Amino acid sequence: MATTDTVQTCDAHNYEPATRGSGRLAPAEAIPAKLAMGAVKATLGGFAFLFFIGCLIAPGFTAEEQKIIFGLTNRTGTVALPHVVAEEKGFFKSEGLNATLIVMQNQVVVNALVAKNIDYGGTFSNMVGAALSGLPIRIVMVVMEGGEHVLVAHPEIKRVEDLKKKIVGISSFGGAPHTQVTMILRKYGLNPEKDVTFLQIGGTPSRYAALEGGSVHAVMLQPPFNKMAQKRGFRELVAFNDIAKVPLGAIAAHRDRIKERPDEIVRIVRAELKSIDYIRTRKDDVLAIMEKSWGIKDRDIREQVYRDALPIYSQNGMVSDEAMQQVIQIVQGARKTTREVPLSEIVDWRFAKQAVAELKK
């Protein structure tokens, strides 16, 4: 795919499908058209996504740099921060990579990666689910060793148990917010299949907008949106990390790309690990990037987000087999499948191991 450094303006985000799911039909409230923090949307049908990709195509990128298209669920938040910092501070370019970061819904990232319309995908639970389904996808790096989602609700909802017969916003069925809120609901004695209605909305910015607009009673939010919601009077009910330690954020690739471009994958992992190290060691610079990239002027929010995220960024881009097995069980439970798949068909840590070894030299 020949592409350029220049991203032209495209109107690919004007249509946003929202899908409800449970044993009950929810009222037909409209999801707010407001798109919090400028996230770009794509439809599950793929037309808007392909149109947006088409807007990237033009002559003229530097031959020395390998162009890659990276699909993310949003650019705002600590999971996305290493990608944004790698772009902002030139870590991709230092590895000979010209990366374009595109925001789309969770399942669209998976579909686009399987179809080879993008080169890499930045979701985790959905990629695990795709691999469990037999799709040719492997996770080659993990960004965070623990989750950072928080269940946030309207102020009149004081306990998780108060969500009975309420609407809960998620990204997509099988995604991290869905699997995690399902575990939370069960822990507090609710039946996710009968007691709540799930509404598929998209990434964290869209879920925040839906909460603020009143289309849902509660959502799973990542920083900085949980802190923003709290300042606006919404209530944090429980952090998923208080329930279980589950990795979050990944870099996934198509099996064919892994075979054809192993060196490129090592360079991507190196760039991301450099970025995570920069985040750990350059606080003031990172807070400035948060302000510029996220548009959040409130330093107190940025400080809180930075402080909470720092301990859970991955040290080496990998997680243990035990942690992966826990993720698999969670995803299997959410997707109602018992299909057994060897870890080697879900993750491939060779590139992270090589990148870590090279960075130590």
Residue 298: count other Cβ atoms within 10 Å of its Cβ: 13
> What is the identity of the amino acid at 264?
E
Provide the token pair at 269.
Answer: 């992992």
Of the CATH numbers 3.30.470.20, 3.40.50.1360, 3.40.50.300, 3.40.190.10, which one belongs to the domain with range 150-242?
3.40.190.10
Contact 222, 176 (CB under 8 A): no
Q: Let me know if the fold of 19-147+247-360 is the same as that of 150-242.
A: yes
> What is the identity of the amino acid at 321?
D
Q: Residue 83's pLDDT is what?
A: 97
pLDDT over threshold 90, residue 6:
no
Q: What's the average model confidence in pLDDT over 47-69?
A: 57
Considering only the C-alpha atoms of the chain, give the largest distance between any 2 of them, rounded to a whole number of Å.
59
Q: Residue 8's pLDDT is what?
A: 29
pLDDT over threshold 60, residue 18:
no
Q: Residue 10's pLDDT is what?
A: 30
Q: Tell me the C-alpha distance between 309 and 187, whole Å.
A: 24
Residue-by-residue DSSP string for 128-182: HHHHHTT-SEEEEEEEESS---EEEE-TT--SGGGGTTEEEEESSTTSHHHHHHH
Across 225-234, 310-319, 337-346, least confident range: 337-346
Question: Under 8 Å CB-to-CB from 115, ≥6 apart: which residues?
Answer: 46
308 sits in which H/E element: helix 299-309
CATH 3.40.190.10 corresponds to the domain 19-147+247-360: yes
Q: Which burial class, exposed, middle or buried, applies to 50 when counting CB atoms under 10 A from its CB (0-12, 13-18, 19+)?
A: middle
Provide the token pair at 17.
Answer: 């499908």
- Is pTM, for the whole model, over 0.85? no
Q: What are the structural domain ranges in the chain?
A: 19-147+247-360, 150-242
Question: Under 8 Å CB-to-CB from 360, ≥6 apart: which residues?
Answer: none
Provide the token pair at 74.
Answer: 């949003």
Q: Residue 97's pLDDT is what?
A: 98
Rg (CA), the chain: 19
Across the strands, what pairs with 253?
A: 120, 138
Q: What's the average model confidence in pLDDT over 54-82?
A: 75
Q: What's the average model confidence in pLDDT over 168-180?
A: 88
